[in-house]
Amino acid sequence: MISFENISKVYPGSSPALENINLFVKPGEFVSVVGHSGAGKSTLLKLLYTEEKPTTGVVSFDKINLLDLRGRELPELRRKIGTVFQDYKLLPKKTLFENVSFALEVAGRSDTEINEVAPKILDIVGLGDKMENYPREVSGGEQQRVALARALVNKPKVIIADEPTGNLDPVSTWEIVQLLLKINEFGTTVLLATHDKGIVDKISKRVVVMEDGRIVSDKKKGKYEL
Ligand code: ADP
């Protein structure tokens, strides 16, 4: 479903951020990408949601080379990929409901649909009773749950989570991880980048370890050493 073939990425004036990456992800997998800061995790994920292009090699999604996408195909791809980040990226002047409904609006859904879907998704992430609050009025963990709700509204095939728990306490961290696991159980592929060894051990799914832009280990389940 997702394939990185012979990928390298060199940012101008820097040493390679990625070198000779080969990684294949099947539909429905939960893959944790781990490694120290600077190992190349974010760059790898950026290639998939097309924020960066590889210097060499091919990134494909559903067998389509992302470099071949033209015009409308690019937003179509992006709708298949939900993203969440360490800093939530919520719109501060919109309520939690509006943050989620905005994503539906951009995708061209009708008001009727929006009013039906947005509260349902906020309920799923446990925030049905805080829909009218603003991001600053809720905790970091709750903001991240809104970000996750927003990432889910277009029923993406993949969720890319780049250090989603980087700013969270252990309890909120575990809540987010459990949500990711639940989303995965329902069939969505999950790619999680983190440097948190504790949560990866707990998740107990496939772990890809990166070091200096290379994949140094790829294990089906669980434990790893950094
Ligand atoms: P990680 O997510 O594992 O912390 P990154 O992918 O962010 O790693 O970074 C990998 C390497 O690429 C680092 O050496 C980093 O400094 C460099 N890098 C990342 N983004 C840029 C950029 N936009 N311009 C130049 N260098 C970058």
Q: What is residue 226's predicted lDDT score, i.e. its pLDDT?
A: 58
Measured between alpha carbons, how far is 187 from 182 in angstroms, rounded to an integer?
9
Q: What is residue 6's predicted lDDT score, i.e. its pLDDT?
A: 97
Indicate whether 224 pLDDT > 70.
Answer: no
Q: What is residue 186's predicted lDDT score, i.e. its pLDDT?
A: 92
Measured between alpha carbons, how far is 103 from 115 in angstroms, rounded to an integer?
12
Mean pLDDT over 145-174 rounds to 95
pLDDT of 29-85, one tens digit each? 999 999 999 999 999 999 999 999 999 999 999 999 999 998 888 888 988 999 999
E strand spans, the chain: 2-9, 18-25, 30-34, 56-61, 64-65, 81-85, 158-162, 189-194, 206-211, 214-219
pTM over 0.75: yes
pLDDT of 5-35, one tens digit each? 999 999 999 899 999 999 999 999 999 999 9
Ligand 1 pocket (Cβ < 6 Å) reads 11, 14, 17, 35, 37-43
pLDDT of 96-141, one tens digit each? 999 999 999 998 999 999 999 999 999 999 999 999 999 999 999 9
Question: What is the CA(38)–ligand 1 centre distance, in A?
Answer: 5
184's tokens: 């995965």
Question: What is the CA(17)–ligand 1 centre distance, in A?
Answer: 6
Nearest to 153, CA basis, from 87, 104, 213, 217: 104
Task: Name the one residue in this structure whose structure tokens are 């120290």.
Answer: 36
Q: Whose CA is nearest to atom 10 of ligand 1?
A: 40
Contact indicator for 152, 100 with CB cutoff of 8 Å: no
For Cα atoms 30, 225, 35, give the angle at the middle one, nearest 5 degrees: 60
Indicate whether 223 pLDDT > 70.
Answer: no
Q: What is residue 207's predicted lDDT score, i.e. its pLDDT?
A: 95
